């Protein structure tokens, strides 16, 4: 039964070379370049994905597994990306897996010393899926700089669990595992706070929504797709259409004929 339920997701992941076992939870590690994603990955999986102090080192989907409370997890370490509106090939790899690879949890790693810039990606991912955990890494560096991050306030503000870590020193990783397990199993229900845009944009979203919903059903988050149509990033719209087996034209036509 478990296999029958999660097999469509597994087929989608396999397009990205990610082969999960039945019942295994898939966690995508996303975040800006150089925030410690691979360091978190290595600490949780015991593997040695290359890390270093320059951006853009991780160029592919590195994968590793770990077990926690008798549950198996497959962790996918992604290249750094600033935005889902990707510019480089590496950013597209990360973006496409987060958007179309159906991870059970997106673990967004952010830099505690540069939260404002880093939260942009977290908010973008939260618009797409509720299954998000935010890992505020480099908390040791923040402390050194006299920056205090109010984790509880951030958690309330975002509506998803937030965990502080210093991954290089193994600090906070137990709590991170505990949190990932709770979100993946559904023990912890997340409720991401959604961004509200200007009235004109919100009105346009409402116009597009019925058509988008009819066309894509539950395959992707409809509000998210409507917002991407409004962004007008043609390459990304085509990518969404490819994923859904639709052409861009049919998405727009259907939305217009709602």
Ligand X SMILES: Nc1nc2c(ncn2[C@@H]2O[C@H](COP(=O)(O)OP(=O)(O)OP(=O)(O)O)[C@@H](O)[C@H]2O)c(=O)[nH]1
Sites of contact with ligand X (CB under 6 A): 31, 33-39, 51-53, 55-58, 79-80, 137-138, 140-141, 166-168
Footprint of Mg ion on 30-69 (CB under 5 A): 37-38, 58
Shortest Cβ distance from residue 55 to ligand X (Å)? 5
Helices marked H in the chain — which ranges?
A: 2-14, 37-45, 89-100, 115-128, 139-144, 151-158, 173-185, 199-216, 222-231, 234-243, 248-256
Q: Is 206 exposed, middle or buried (0-12, 13-18, 19+ CB in 10 A)?
A: exposed
Tokens 């150089």 belong to which residue? Answer: 34
Structure tokens that stand for 117 in this block: 């810039």
Question: Is 8 or 17 the residue whose CB approaches ligand X more closely?
Answer: 17
Question: What 3-state class would DSSP assign to 201?
Answer: helix
Shortest Cβ distance from residue 32 to ligand X (Å)? 7
211's contact among Mg ion, ligand X, none, with CB below 5 to 8 A by partner kind, is none
Q: Which position's Cβ is nearest ligand X?
A: 80
Question: Is 23 or 55 the residue whose CB approaches ligand X more closely?
Answer: 55
Question: Is 6 or 90 the residue whose CB approaches Mg ion more closely?
Answer: 90
Q: What are phi and psi of 190, to 5 degrees?
A: -90, 150
Q: Which of 49, 46, 45, 69 is nearest to 60 (CA)?
A: 49
223's contact among ligand X, Mg ion, none, with CB below 5 to 8 A by partner kind, is none
CB 105 within 8 A of CB 99: no
Question: Is 37 or 181 the residue whose CB approaches Mg ion more closely?
Answer: 37
Question: Is 60 or 157 the residue whose CB approaches ligand X more closely?
Answer: 60
Cα–Cα distance between 33 and 181 in angstroms, integer?
Answer: 25
Shortest Cβ distance from residue 179 to ligand X (Å)? 17
Question: Is 43 or 215 the residue whose CB approaches ligand X more closely?
Answer: 43
138's contact among Mg ion, ligand X, none, with CB below 5 to 8 A by partner kind, is ligand X
Tokens 């999960």 belong to which residue? Answer: 20
Shortest Cβ distance from residue 137 to ligand X (Å)? 5
Instruction: List residues binding Mg ion (CB under 5 A).
Output: 37-38, 58
């Amino acid at each position: 039964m478990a296999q029958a339920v999660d097999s469509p997701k597994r087929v989608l992941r396999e397009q990205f070379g990610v082969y999960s076992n039945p019942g295994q939870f898939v966690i995508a590690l996303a975040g800006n370049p150089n925030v410690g994603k691979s360091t978190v990955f290595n600490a949780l999986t015991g593997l040695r994905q290359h890390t270093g102090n320059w951006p853009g080192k991780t160029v592919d989907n590195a994968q590793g597994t770990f077990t926690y409370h008798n549950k198996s997890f497959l962790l996918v370490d992604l290249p750094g990306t600033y935005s889902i509106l990707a510019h480089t090939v590496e950013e597209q790899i990360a973006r496409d897996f987060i958007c179309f690879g159906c991870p059970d949890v997106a673990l967004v790693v952010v830099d505690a010393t540069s939260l404002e810039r880093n939260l942009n990606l977290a908010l973008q991912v939260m618009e797409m899926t509720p299954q998000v955990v935010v890992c505020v890494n480099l908390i040791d560096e923040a402390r050194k700089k006299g920056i205090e991050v109010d984790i509880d306030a951030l958690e309330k503000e975002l509506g998803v669990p937030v965990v502080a870590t210093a991954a290089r020193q193994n600090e906070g990783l137990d709590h991170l595992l505990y949190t990932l397990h709770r979100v993946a199993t559904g023990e912890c229900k997340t409720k991401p706070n959604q961004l509200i845009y200007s009235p004109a944009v919100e009105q346009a979203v409402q116009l597009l929504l019925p058509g988008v919903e009819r066309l894509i059903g539950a395959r992707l988050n409809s509000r998210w797709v409507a917002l991407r149509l409004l962004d007008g990033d043609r390459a990304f719209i085509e990518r969404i259409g490819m994923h859904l087996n639709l052409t861009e034209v049919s998405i727009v036509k259907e939305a217009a004929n709602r």
